Structure 1
């Protein structure tokens, strides 16, 4: 086989510097308590707990409400 790479990494364009994006950057930079999860994408702290599976093999994930309302599934950590 050849050493031809299939994928290349490119630098994406940064988010536009709108007032809403400035607020998101400020909220993401704020210190937060360990017990309070925060969305890495929008900075929101509201979440819905989704359970996947039945019985003993249940996986729980915290999904950001604000991103979920926009049609994006973001797991909070």
Structure 2
């Protein structure tokens, strides 16, 4: 099986979501999710981002380009500070 299909299944299990529930939460059709889970296709980037957001995983992890599954939390990111010369 492909890495995307494996990781999508794993993320769905960890989130305790069925394909029907994932479809409802993402607005993505159940048939598309089924085809991804069966490794018939890999989701396009915009769909991967949507899935990752609902499943609370990194889009890069979901498609297999990263081994880090969790998304960085917004509060953990440094806040840029504008400095004006005096």
Q: TM-score, normalised by structure 1?
A: 0.25
Q: Which has the higher strand share?
A: 1
- Kindly indicate whether structure 1 or structure 2 has the higher relative contact order, using CA contacts under 8 Å at least 6 residues apart: 2
Q: Which has the larger radius of gyration?
A: 1
Q: Which has the higher helix share?
A: 2
